[in-house]
Structure 1
Amino acid sequence: MVEHIVLIKFSNETTKQQKDELIRRTLALKGAIPGIVDIQQGHNFSERSKGYEVGLTVRLTDREALADYGPHPEHQKIVFYLHEIGVEDSIIVDFDIAD
């Protein structure tokens, strides 16, 4: 299995409603993209976040599923929405989960 982690920083103009909508849309990917085992996303509450406001974890069956996830049309809709609402930066980490 593979864990895909994303931290997202937004512009000052991005509203809480837009962030909530992003989370709603992202969580719906579980039923739409093959290979997703679990998906979680939420608002950060840590004071150590360095400005990253939303965190995402996606657990996928394997690296092939991860490779298919990125260009999948439903995921690309999320990427487009992120840019539309004002994503400023993101950090992405992918790793194999030890058995």
Structure 2
Amino acid sequence: MIEHLVWFKLRADAPEAAKERLLAELVALKDRIPGILDASAGADFSGRAAGYTHGFVVRFVDRAALEAYHPHPAHRTVVEQHVEPISEGVLALDYEHD
């Protein structure tokens, strides 16, 4: 199983509606891309995220599913239409476990 963790630094001047739409679109990818077992997204509340404001976690069945995810049109659409317009930075980490 693969865990794909993504942190976003969303612009402070980005409208709340755009932030909420981004989170909803990210989670909806689980119904649009094969190989995703689960997905969740939300805003940081701890203040310990080194300036990253929001997080996204996706669980994939295997590495092949993760590799197919990045170029998938649904993922590219979310990145281009919802992430890039309001993001100042993105950090991702992937790991495998049983």
- Report the TM range for the smaller structure's normalisation: over 0.9
Deviations 1:2-58 (A, max 9, x none): 000000002232122111000111111111100000101011101111111110000
Whether 2:89 is the aligned partner of 1:89: answer yes
Deviations 1:49-74 (A, max 9, x none): 11111100000000000000001000
SS in 2 for 1:49: coil
Q: Alpha-carbon deviation of 1:92?
A: 0.2
TM (norm. structure 2) is: 0.94
Question: What percent of counterpart residues are identical?
Answer: 38
Residue number in structure 2 paired with 1:8: 8
- Number of equivalent positions: 97
TM (norm. structure 1) is: 0.93
The gaps in structure 2 that reach 5 residues or longer are: none
SS in 1 for 2:93: strand
SS in 2 for 1:78: helix
Residue number in structure 2 paired with 1:49: 49
SS in 2 for 1:21: helix
Q: Matches of 2:12 and 2:44 in 1, distance apart?
A: 16
Residue number in structure 2 paired with 1:64: 64
The gaps in structure 1 that reach 5 residues or longer are: none
SS in 2 for 1:14: coil
- Structure 1 runs (4+) deviating above 6 angstroms are none
